[in-house]
Amino acid sequence: MLQSESELEISRILVEWYEIYKRELPWRETRDPYIIWISEIILQQTRVVQGLEYFLRFTERFPNVASLAAAEEDEVLKYWQGLGYYSRARNLHAAAKSIMERFNGVFPENYKEVLSLKGIGEYTAAAIVSFAWNQPYPVVDGNVYRVLSRLFAADTPIDTAKGKKQFAELAGMILDRKNAGAHNQAIMELGALRCVPKNPDCKVCPLKDKCMAFASGDAQAYPVKQNKTKTRDRYFHYLYIIYKGQTWMNRRAGKDIWTGLYEFPLIETDHAMDFSGLCETQSFRDLLGDAGTLSITQGLSNVKHTLSHQILYASFYQIEIERIPESLGNYLSLSCRDIEKYAVPRLIHIYLEKLNGNL
């Protein structure tokens, strides 16, 4: 693809700015594709300031493909705990095993082979091969969509097939193929630090003289989205059931949220409900109807927890029982002291921290 001097100048300006203003981050100090991969997966749904601690902890325990592939899934999920979107961790684990089996433990260098790994899409594959080997594949993530849409005043919705195609073409158009890794890092960093969603710092942006949205004075009108994400409300009631230092948990399965993580016995209702109402449900009767006298302490009530497409309202009840009902035979029995050994959703982690007086 022939490129104009103006298009290559955009890349040159970006890279020069990046060399001065980039944040010093550990995954930028290496060409190891494994380390780059882990950082990219963590940062998909997590801000850098929050993800750095998790990255350091995760890569200390799993410093290479072999160590990750050899681990049990429960341990991988435990080290991922707090990051959310746990399918990312399961996909990392599956992809590491695939690398061991298909590529003899060596991270593949070919773009299509990288793309074939579970959990790796076009953006992540482009990031890995460009950062590790300077291969000329443009990255297009949320930050890049924002920069490109403003730079070219492109009003095609980014959440449409037409928009994805157009922005991929724009990203490739300004990519300096000889300096792909630095270019990709630079445009992503500009979106993270200057060309931010709200109140972009346009006056100090290195591309302001080339930015069509800045010229029109309407940068915040971009990028354009066609559809707003629809969310649904869910109402969770967690029962921390105790009998002589023993408690019960369940490992979530199926295609719902938090697959593979552990939680207390859960009753989900279709509307908000206090404990007296909960006791009248058939689910509560089936679970604790034969447990004898119940000693109940409410820990947290109606805690709002926002996920990408759902809003959870969760309440937690600590319940000491007189005897163990047969219904608990369907759950994992463990000592209350051992709860911390299991990977749990952030929502339950917050409750346990409060219970232990750490909040």
Catalytic residues: 40
Looking at the DSSP assignment, which residues form a beta bridge with residue 288? none
Both tokens assigned to 323: 């005897």
Q: Residues 309-332, buried b or exposed e (16+ Cβ, 10 A)?
A: eeebbbbbbbbebeebbebbeebe
Under DSSP, the state recorded for 253 is -
Contact 352, 308 (CB under 8 A): no
**Close Cβ partners of 40 (under 8 Å, ≥ 6 residues apart):** 124, 127, 128
CA 2 vs CA 6, 177, 182: distances in Å = 12, 11, 20
Classify residue 3 by burial, with Cβ atoms within 10 Å: 0-12, 13-18, 19+.
middle
Backbone angles phi, psi at 167, to 5 degrees: -75, -30
Query: Phi-psi category of 258—alpha, beta or left, where left has phi over 0 and alpha has psi -120 to 50?
Result: left
Residue recorded with tokens 């890092």 = 185
Q: How many CA atoms lie within 13 A of 258 on its CB side?
A: 19
Residue recorded with tokens 């590491």 = 96
- DSSP for 110-154, please give it: SHHHHHTSTT--HHHHHHHHHHHH--------HHHHHHHHHHTT-
Among residues 57, 36, 27, 41, which one has the least CA distance to residue 94? 41
